[in-house]
Amino acid sequence: MLPTLNGRIQTRIFMLVVFGGVITLVLTPVLPGDPDYRTTYLILAAVLVLGVLWELVYHAIQQLRWEKDWPTLFGLVTALNEGALLWLLLDLELVPGIDYPYDGVPFWAFFIDFSVIWLVVWVWTNGPMRVPFIRWRFFGGRII
């Protein structure tokens, strides 16, 4: 069964809250530029909100494809456009709630945090998640 739009959104939210939250908790103290937890968790929240909007865009694009889905590798490559948009919003200081330092959010802190979270979520979703959530793929990717 192909993941439905609802299932993809639920999976994205679940993964970012669970894995993204834990990874951000562990990575924040060792990120370059000394970002604080408030900043890194607000960036994670921005990834979540923008991610739901991206899912709507991806769904529209997928409707143009014959099988109404795309290869697994595309899910990994979408990190480029999602990360670039979020970095642009951070660079322009358009993400609300963040106390931007005088020189902005450190790029390498953002890059490392975003990349590690994205890679872990992508690997877990496309592999081991199918073991503890055995019915996940039969319900179109829905968690609930």
pLDDT surpasses 80 at 63: yes
pLDDT surpasses 80 at 70: no
Tell me, what's the pLDDT at 117?
95
- Please state the separation of Cα 2 from the chain's center in Å: 20
Task: Read off the pTM.
Answer: 0.87
> Model confidence over 115-134: pLDDT tens digits?
999 999 999 988 888 788 77
Tell me, what's the pLDDT at 37?
92
**65 — alpha (psi -120 to 50), left (phi > 0) or beta?**
beta
> Model confidence over 87-106: pLDDT tens digits?
999 988 888 888 777 777 88
pLDDT surpasses 60 at 1: no
CA distances from 59 to 1, 101, 144 (A): 16, 36, 20
